[in-house]
C-alpha cells in the first residue's frame, strides 16, 4: 500500500513510502523513558546522552567527506571468494572477485591473487572463454613480479581450456608463450606434455613430461600420461575388418605397466591424486587382461576402493576377468555389487545382461528370466520414449530448441527423455562438444535472465524513497545519524520526566500542554536508537514479505502437483491400450481437450506466480530503513520537541509553580544544546541525502548502460543461437539415434536372453523326460526279467514230460 507521510528535512524521506508492515503501538510494551525518576538524576542523564550525541555526530559528518573506511579489505574479499568457491557457489564468487579486481587494480598482491581465483572460478563453472581471457591476461604480464606465482597455473589451465574446447590449433602459440617464461617449472612441462599428447606427438610429449619434478603438483598426472604414451606405442594397429586381433604377448605392455605401477607408489595426498592412482590401477588391470594374465589383473582391479569414482567401471571389467577365469560365482557377485553401488554407471545395462547370461549358463533359469525381463521392461520404455521424441520432428532447429529447454520444462513434458538417455547422448561421438554448446547457450540465457532480474531490483531500489539502501556506506551513516537524533529525543523525554517530578499545581494551559506531550511519548519511545534496534526493524519489515514468499512457494508446489497429475493422466491415456483399457475416440478427444485446457491454466498460473514473485522481490528491497515508520519517527520527534518547548515556556511563566520554574531554568540550556545537536545532525543527514541523490543518479546511469548491454548480449546470443541450431541440432540428433540403436540392441539382447532361457528350459525338460523314459524302460525291463526268473523257478511238475 502507498502511504503519504509528512515532510521531513531529507528529500529521501519526503516522498511516499511503500510499506506493508504497520506498527500497532498499543500492542508493544515499550518502557516509557519519561517515567518517574529523580529530577537531578534525570538532568544529569540527559546531559550525558546529549554530550555523547554531540561527540558521535562527527562520525556521521565523515561519511560524506570520504573518511569512512571500506567495510571489507581486499584480503577479506579474497577470503569470502575462497569460501564461496569451497561451497561451489561460483556465481557469487565471480561477483566478489570481479568487484575486487575492479577496486584494487594497483594492489601489490590482491589484484594478482584475485585475477587467478577469478580464472579458476570461471574454469570450474565451465565458462571456458572467460577463463581463457583471464588466464591469458595473467600469462601476458611477464614483467610484473606480482603475477609470477600464478603463471604456471595459468599455463596449465590454458591448455586445459584448449583441450576441453578442442582448440588444438591454439596450442602451438601457447607452447611458444610457455617457452618464453623464464625458469621452466614442473607445471609448465606438464601443460606442454599434455598438449603435445593431444596433438598426437608422443615422443615430444614424453620428453616434456619427463621434465616434471618428483615434488611437482602434477607428478601423478605426468607419470600417468607417460604410461598412456607407452601403451599407445606398444599397441599394434587394428586388424582388418572381419579379422580377430592376435593375442597380446605377455611382454608387450611391460613398460606401460611398469610406468603405471610407479604412479601407484606416489602418495595419495589429495582427492585428485587418489583418483589418478585409481586410474593407474585400472589401466594395469586392463593391460594384464589383454596379456591374458587374469590372476594378476584381478589383483590390480581389487586395489580400487569403493570410494573411488572408477569403482563402477572396475566392477564391470572385473566380472569379465572372472568369466575368463571360469569363476561364475565371483563374476555374478561383482555384477550384483555394481547394480547396487553404481546404478548410474554407463555399463549397468551390459552388466545386467551379462549377469543374466551367467545365471542362464549356471542353470538358474528363474533368476535369469527375471533379470532379462527387468532389463527389457526398463530399456524398452526408454526406447519407446526416445523413438517418439525422434519421430516428432526431423528439423535440427526444432530439435536444438527442445534440448535447450530448462530441465524443469523438460520434466513437465509427459514424454520427457530419461536422464540415462541424455547422459549416453552426451557421452557419444562429439557429444561432449555438442552438448557443451547447448549448455553454454542455456547458461548464457540463465545469466541474461538473472541480470534482467537484478536490473529490475536495482531499478526498484533506485526509484524508491529509501534508495539509500543501495549505498551501504551512506546507509550506515544515515542510520547512525537517525539513531543519535532518537537518542537526543530520549534525553528530552528524560528531562520531561524530571519536570513531572517537580511539578506543583498546574494551570489549565500547562496541563493541556503536558497532556499533549505525554500523548507523544509512547510512540516516540519506539524509535530505534542502537544498531540492534535498527536490525530488529529490518527483520520486522521483511517478515511480512517472507510470509508472502512462503505463500507463493506453496502455490508453486500446488502448481507442480497439478502438472504432475496432468503428466500422469497423459501417460495413462497413452498406456491405456497396453494395459487393456479401451476408450472410444470421442472419449480420448474429450480427455485430451480437458488436459490441454488444464495445461493452459497451469501455464497461466505459473506466469502469474512469476509476476508476483518479481513484485515480492521488488517489495523486499523497498521496505526497512527509510520506510513509513522512519517518517513517523521524524514527525513525532518534531512534534515532541515543539510540545516540550511549549510546556517549558508555560512553566517559565509560573504555570506550574516556582519550583518547576526554577528547575526549568536549568533545563533550558540543556534543551538548547539538544537543539544545536539536532541541527548539526540534520545538516549531516542532508549532506548524506545529497550524496545519495548524486550516487543514485550515477547508479541509474550505470544500470541504463548495463540494460543496453544486456539487450545487445541478448541479440548477439540469438544470432549465435541461429548459427548453432543447424549444426548442433544435426549432430545431437545423430547421437540420439545412436542411443536409440544402443537401446534397441539392449532390448534385443534381453529378448534373445528370454528366448534362450525358454529354449534352455525346454531342452532341460526334454532331457529330463528322455531321462525319465530311459529310467522307466530300464525299470520295466528289470521287472520283466525278474518275472521271467520267478516263472522259471516255479515251473509245474505235472506238465513235465514223463520218463520213458
pLDDT in tens, 537-552: 878 877 878 888 888 8
Side-chain half-sphere CA neighbours of 681 within 13 A? 27
d(CA 577, CA 575): 6
**In this predicted structure, what is the pLDDT of residue 371?**
87
Helix (H, G, I), strand (E, B) or coil at 2: strand
**In this predicted structure, what is the pLDDT of residue 27?**
28
Dihedral over alpha carbons 688, 689, 693, 695 (to 10 degrees): 20
Helix (H) or strand (E) holding 489: helix 472-501
66 Cβ partners below 8 Å, 6+ apart?
none
Side-chain half-sphere CA neighbours of 192 within 13 A? 26
420 Cβ partners below 8 Å, 6+ apart?
344, 382
- Extract the C-alpha cell encoding 562: 497439478
Work out the percent of the chain whose per-residue pLDDT is above 70. 88
Q: How confident is the model at residue 115 (pLDDT cuts 50, 70, 90)?
A: very high
Q: Average per-residue pLDDT in the chain?
A: 81
DSSP 415-476: TPPPHHHHHHHHTSTTHHHHHHHHHHHHHHHHHHHHHHHHHHHHHHHHTSTTGGGG-HHHHH
3-class secondary structure for 722-786? Answer: HHHHHHHHHHHHHHHHHHHHHHHHHHHHHHHHHHHHHHHHHHHHHHHHHHHHHHHHHHHHHHHHH
Q: How confident is the model at residue 579 (pLDDT cuts 50, 70, 90)?
A: low
**Residue 265: closest CA among 281, 283, 248:** 281
370 Cβ partners below 8 Å, 6+ apart?
none
pLDDT in tens, 52-79: 988 888 888 887 775 444 567 888 889 9
d(CA 744, CA 484): 77
**In this predicted structure, what is the pLDDT of residue 118?**
94
CB-based contact 130:447 (threshold 8 Å): no
**In this predicted structure, what is the pLDDT of residue 93?**
92
CB-based contact 750:375 (threshold 8 Å): yes
**Residue 467: closest CA among 685, 686, 681, 695:** 695
pLDDT in tens, 383-419: 888 888 788 777 777 767 666 665 444 444 545 677 7
pLDDT at 13 over 50: no
pLDDT at 227 over 90: yes
Work out the percent of the chain whose per-residue pLDDT is above 90. 17
**In this predicted structure, what is the pLDDT of residue 274?**
93
**In this predicted structure, what is the pLDDT of residue 348?**
83
CB-based contact 676:549 (threshold 8 Å): no
**Residue 455: closest CA among 696, 704, 93:** 704
**In this predicted structure, what is the pLDDT of residue 20?**
35
**C-alpha dihedral sign at 656, 658, 660, 665:** positive
For residues 2-27, average pLDDT: 32
d(CA 753, CA 373): 9
Q: How confident is the model at residue 121 (pLDDT cuts 50, 70, 90)?
A: very high
3-class secondary structure for 523-583? Answer: HHCCCCCCHHHHHHHHHHHHHHHHHHHHHHHHHHHHHHHHHHHHHHHHHHHHHCCCCCCCC
Kindly report the pTM of this predicted structure: 0.65
Helix (H, G, I), strand (E, B) or coil at 346: coil
**Beta pairing partners, 2:** 18
**In this predicted structure, what is the pLDDT of residue 506?**
76
- Extract the C-alpha cell encoding 460: 526498484
**In this predicted structure, what is the pLDDT of residue 184?**
53
CB-based contact 335:357 (threshold 8 Å): no
pLDDT at 21 over 60: no
pLDDT at 279 over 90: yes
DSSP 626-656: TSHHHHHHHHHHHHHHHHHHHHHHHHHTTTT
pLDDT in tens, 39-56: 888 888 988 999 998 888
**In this predicted structure, what is the pLDDT of residue 739?**
86
pLDDT in tens, 691-723: 888 888 888 888 899 899 999 988 888 888 777
- Angle of helix 348-361 relative to helix 328-341, nearest 10 degrees, comes to 150
Helix (H) or strand (E) holding 319: helix 311-325
d(CA 347, CA 310): 12
> In terms of pLDDT, which residue wins out, 725 or 283?
283
Q: How confident is the model at residue 797 (pLDDT cuts 50, 70, 90)?
A: low
**In this predicted structure, what is the pLDDT of residue 180?**
67
Q: How confident is the model at residue 783 (pLDDT cuts 50, 70, 90)?
A: confident
pLDDT in tens, 441-457: 777 888 888 888 888 88
Q: How confident is the model at residue 257 (pLDDT cuts 50, 70, 90)?
A: very high
437 Cβ partners below 8 Å, 6+ apart?
724, 728
3-class secondary structure for 198-263? Answer: HCCCHHHHHHHHCCCCCCCCCHHHHHHHHHHHHHHHHCCCCCCCCCCCCCCCCCCCHHHHHHHHHH
pLDDT in tens, 495-537: 888 888 887 677 788 888 888 988 998 888 888 988 888 888 8
- Extract the C-alpha cell encoding 251: 611382454
**In this predicted structure, what is the pLDDT of residue 34?**
44
Q: How confident is the model at residue 24 (pLDDT cuts 50, 70, 90)?
A: very low
For residues 355-374, average pLDDT: 86
Amino acid at each position: 500500500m502507498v502511504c503519504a507521510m509528512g515532510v521531513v528535512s531529507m528529500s529521501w524521506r519526503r516522498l511516499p513510502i511503500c510499506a506493508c508492515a504497520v506498527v500497532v503501538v498499543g500492542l508493544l510494551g515499550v518502557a516509557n523513558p519519561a517515567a518517574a525518576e529523580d529530577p537531578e538524576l534525570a538532568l544529569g542523564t540527559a546531559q550525558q546522552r546529549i554530550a555523547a550525541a554531540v561527540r558521535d555526530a562527527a562520525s556521521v559528518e565523515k561519511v560524506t567527506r570520504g573518511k569512512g573506511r571500506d567495510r571489507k579489505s581486499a584480503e577479506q574479499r579474497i577470503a569470502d571468494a575462497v569460501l564461496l568457491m569451497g561451497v561451489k557457489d561460483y556465481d557469487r564468487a565471480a561477483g566478489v572477485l570481479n568487484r575486487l579486481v575492479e577496486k584494487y587494480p594497483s594492489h601489490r598482491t590482491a589484484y594478482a591473487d584475485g585475477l587467478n581465483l577469478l580464472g579458476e572460478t570461471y574454469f570450474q563453472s565451465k565458462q571456458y572463454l572467460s577463463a581463457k581471457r583471464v588466464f591469458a591476461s595473467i600469462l601476458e604480464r611477464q614483467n610484473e613480479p606480482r603475477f609470477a606465482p600464478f603463471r604456471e597455473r595459468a599455463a596449465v589451465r590454458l591448455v586445459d581450456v584448449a583441450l576441453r574446447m578442442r582448440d588444438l590449433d591454439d596450442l602451438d602459440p601457447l607452447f611458444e608463450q610457455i617457452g618464453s617464461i623464464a625458469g621452466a617449472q614442473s607445471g609448465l612441462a606438464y601443460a606442454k606434455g599434455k598438449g603435445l599428447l593431444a596433438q598426437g606427438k608422443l615422443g615430444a610429449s614424453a620428453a616434456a613430461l619427463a621434465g616434471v619434478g618428483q615434488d611437482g603438483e602434477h607428478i601423478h598426472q605426468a607419470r600417468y600420461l607417460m604410461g598412456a604414451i607407452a601403451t599407445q606405442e606398444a599397441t599394434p594397429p587394428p586388424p582388418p575388418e572381419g579379422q580377430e586381433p592376435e593375442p597380446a604377448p605377455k611382454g608387450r605392455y611391460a613398460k606401460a605397466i611398469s610406468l603405471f605401477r610407479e604412479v601407484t607408489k606416489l602418495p595419495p595426498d589429495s582427492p585428485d591424486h587418489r583418483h589418478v592412482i585409481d586410474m593407474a590401477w585400472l589401466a594395469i588391470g586392463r593391460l594384464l587382461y589383454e596379456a591374458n594374465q587374469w590372476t594378476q589383473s584381478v589383483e590390480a582391479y581389487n586395489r580400487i576402493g569403493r570410494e573411488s569414482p572408477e569403482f563402477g567401471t572396475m566392477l564391470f571389467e572385473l566380472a569379465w576377468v572372472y568369466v575368463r577365469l571360469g569363476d561364475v560365482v565371483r563374476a555374478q557377485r561383482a555384477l550384483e555389487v555394481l547394480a547396487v553401488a553404481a546404478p548410474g554407471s554407463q555399463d549397468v545395462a551390459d552388466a545386467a545382461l551379462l549377469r543374466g547370461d551367467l545365471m542362464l549358463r549356471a542353470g538358474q533359469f528363474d533368476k535369469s528370466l527375471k533379470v532379462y525381463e527387468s532389463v527389457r521392461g526398463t530399456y524398452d520404455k526408454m526406447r519407446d520414449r526416445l523413438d517418439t521424441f525422434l519421430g516428432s520432428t526431423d528439423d535440427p532447429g526444432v530439435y536444438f530448441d527442445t534440448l535447450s529447454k530448462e530441465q524443469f520444462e523438460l520434466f513437465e513434458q509427459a514424454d520427457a527423455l530419461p536422464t540415462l538417455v541424455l547422459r549416453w547422448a552426451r557421452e557419444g561421438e562429439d557429444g561432449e562438444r555438442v552438448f557443451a554448446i547447448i549448455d553454454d547457450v542455456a547458461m548464457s540465457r540463465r545469466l541474461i535472465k538473472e541480470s534482467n532480474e537484478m536490473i529490475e531490483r536495482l531499478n526498484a531500489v533506485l526509484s524508491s524513497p529509501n534508495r539509500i539502501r543501495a549505498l551501504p556506506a551512506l546507509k550506515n551513516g544515515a542510520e547512525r545519524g537517525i539513531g543519535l537524533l532518537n537518542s537526543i529525543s530520549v534525553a528530552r523525554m528524560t528531562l520531561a520526566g524530571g519536570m513531572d517530578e517537580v511539578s506543583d499545581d498546574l494551570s489549565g494551559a500547562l496541563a493541556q500542554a503536558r497532556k499533549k506531550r505525554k500523548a507523544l511519548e509512547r510512540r516516540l519511545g519506539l524509535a530505534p536508537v542502537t544498531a540492534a534496534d535498527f536490525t530488529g526493524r529490518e527483520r520486522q519489515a521483511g517478515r511480512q514479505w517472507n510470509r508472502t514468499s512462503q505463500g507463493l512457494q506453496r502455490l508453486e508446489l500446488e502448481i507442480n502437483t497439478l502438472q504432475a497429475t496432468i503428466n500422469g493422466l497423459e501417460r495413462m491415456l497413452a498406456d491405456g491400450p497396453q494395459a487393456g483399457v479401451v476408450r472410444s475416440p470421442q472419449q480420448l478427444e474429450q480427455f485430451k481437450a480437458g488436459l490441454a485446457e488444464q495445461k493452459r491454466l497451469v501455464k497461466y498460473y505459473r506466469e502469474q506466480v512469476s509476476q508476483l514473485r518479481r513484485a515480492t522481490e521488488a517489495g523486499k528491497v523497498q521496505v526497512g530503513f527509510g520506510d513509513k515508520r522512519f517518517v513517523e519517527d521524524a514527525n513525532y520527534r518534531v512534534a515532541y520537541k515543539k510540545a516540550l518547548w511549549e510546556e517549558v515556556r508555560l512553566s517559565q511563566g509560573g504555570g506550574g509553580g516556582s519550583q518547576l520554574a526554577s528547575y526549568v531554568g536549568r533545563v533550558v540550556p540543556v534543551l538548547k544544546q539538544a537543539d544545536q545537536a539536532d541541527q548539526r545532525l540534520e545538516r549531516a543527514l542532508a549532506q548524506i541525502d545529497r550524496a545519495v541523490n548524486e550516487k543514485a543518479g550515477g547508479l541509474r546511469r550505470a544500470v541504463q548502460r548495463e540494460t543496453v548491454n544486456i539487450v545487445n548480449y541478448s541479440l548477439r546470443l540469438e544470432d549465435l543461437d541461429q548459427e548453432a541450431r543447424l549444426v548442433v541440432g544435426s549432430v545431437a540428433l545423430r547421437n540420439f539415434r545412436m542411443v536409440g540403436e544402443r537401446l534397441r540392441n539392449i532390448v534385443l539382447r534381453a529378448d534373445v536372453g528370454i528366448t534362450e532361457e525358454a529354449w534352455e528350459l525346454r531342452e532341460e525338460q526334454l532331457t529330463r523326460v528322455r531321462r525319465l523314459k530311459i529310467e522307466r524302460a530300464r525299470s520295466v525291463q528289470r521287472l520283466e526279467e525278474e518275472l521271467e526268473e520267478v516263472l522259471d523257478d516255479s515251473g509245474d511238475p505235472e506238465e513235465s514230460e514223463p520218463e520213458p
